[in-house]
Homo-oligomer: A and B are copies of this chain.
């Protein structure tokens, strides 16, 4: 019966003489008549002591060893295995494209992405995705506690709620359909259906041609929608609670993973500090961005663009102790037709900016059939293409709203990664569709 590396010390303390370990050959060191192998499994690293008869091994080969567990203060984890038998389950070719047991973070991003089965063997790279799994789990768990229902909706749609641009086209039998940009329409349908509170974790697609460190053409969207709200402020309160819980769980479960990226400033914000994140109306946020910009002799800012996002976060960190800001009341011209108006100019919408980048967009939605018709015509959307969407509002739809958090952006910001692609297992951009 195999045990894990992390349990070897306990086995040594118990005097176990017949211990099996399995994993990858992380490091090999020769010393006189003995070989020392560092073995890596999903739980960590452990030292094996062998005589020379096994010395044909290559780095990264997969082996199973049996031996006696022994305490050794100098070995990682405080114990080692004195190997009596070794079986090579899979021999690794000797031409590794990069050194797995070194500082893989210095390897180029393209090589990391081209060789995921190797790059993820590095504890630092793996740390990103162990933590990402915690983020997903915490997101779902928090919402379930608040009586939200998990949904799974189609990613194949006949048109886009956002207006039909930036859609990937799919050959669907004898017609053209598209990959969904968001589950917007479905979330709203399900709120109206009486589920009232729904969430979904799923891929979303944007056929945007620009290739920036902030964008992916396929990303994981953490989507939320809820009924019976009065304004976007209830959504912001919900997101604050949600983010605080995610940070709490990341700190509880993944402090060791964050530690591996300490040089990048990796950390989750103190959960209690999230409630202090300011809520700033759009016009005020613009002013703040311009004051910050002028201090640094930067250009005049006319919109909450990436520069503004950084400036406003810098300001919030200085003034409120947390680089998380909720900007609300965006002008109608900047938001989709379905956004609920606050007045003739402003909307009940918001973005969440975290460490200099937008991680969330959301708001209250139109829920009145007649107002929706009017908004569609004002935005120049053809009614025929929106029949299914309009049907949501025809037979009783409560006031509602929602938001979506970009999983890769949130992950990247927690780890201090400079490119969001580093936070995607198999990112897709304009050039990359493999592996």
Check if A399 is an interface residue, CB within 8 A of chain B: yes
Selecting from A146-154, A281-289, A297-305, the interface stretch reads A146-154
Tell me whether A391 and B115 are in contact (CB under 8 A). Answer: yes
Tell me whether A195 and B155 are in contact (CB under 8 A). Answer: no
Check if A397 is an interface residue, CB within 8 A of chain B: yes
**B contact residues around A433 at 8 Å (CB):** 156-158, 172, 175, 177
Check if A86 is an interface residue, CB within 8 A of chain B: no
A238 CB to closest chain B CB (Å) equals 15
Interface string of A186-219 (1 = CB under 8 A from B): 1001101111110001110101010000000110
Check if A34 is an interface residue, CB within 8 A of chain B: no
**B contact residues around A153 at 8 Å (CB):** 425-426
Check if A398 is an interface residue, CB within 8 A of chain B: yes
Check if A40 is an interface residue, CB within 8 A of chain B: yes
Report A107-156 residues with CB < 8 Å from chain B CB: 115-121, 126, 129-130, 132-133, 136-137, 140, 144, 147, 149-156
Tell me whether B24 and A194 are in contact (CB under 8 A). Answer: yes
Most buried by B among A23, A25, A197: A23
Selecting from A87-95, A244-252, A335-343, the interface stretch reads A87-95
A398 to B40 alpha-carbon distance, docked (Å): 12
From B40, B92, B396, B434, A194 is in contact (CB under 8 Å) with B40
Q: Which residue of B lies closest to A430 (CB)?
A: B173
Check if A228 is an interface residue, CB within 8 A of chain B: yes
Check if A392 is an interface residue, CB within 8 A of chain B: yes
- Chain A interface, >50% SS class: mixed
Selecting from A163-171, A267-275, A319-327, the interface stretch reads A163-171
**B contact residues around A172 at 8 Å (CB):** 168, 433
**B contact residues around A132 at 8 Å (CB):** 152
**B contact residues around A193 at 8 Å (CB):** 116-121, 126
Check if A184 is an interface residue, CB within 8 A of chain B: no
Q: Which residue of B lies closest to A119 (CB)?
A: B193
A-B residue pairs in contact (CB < 8 Å), sample of 10: A2-B228, A89-B367, A92-B394, A96-B395, A115-B391, A129-B151, A136-B152, A137-B144, A153-B425, A173-B207
Report A395-423 residues with CB < 8 Å from chain B CB: 395-399, 407
Check if A393 is an interface residue, CB within 8 A of chain B: yes
From known contacts A136-B150, A228-B2, infer whether A398 and B179 are also in contact, taking CB-CB under 8 Å.
Answer: no
Check if A380 is an interface residue, CB within 8 A of chain B: no
A426 to B187 alpha-carbon distance, docked (Å): 11
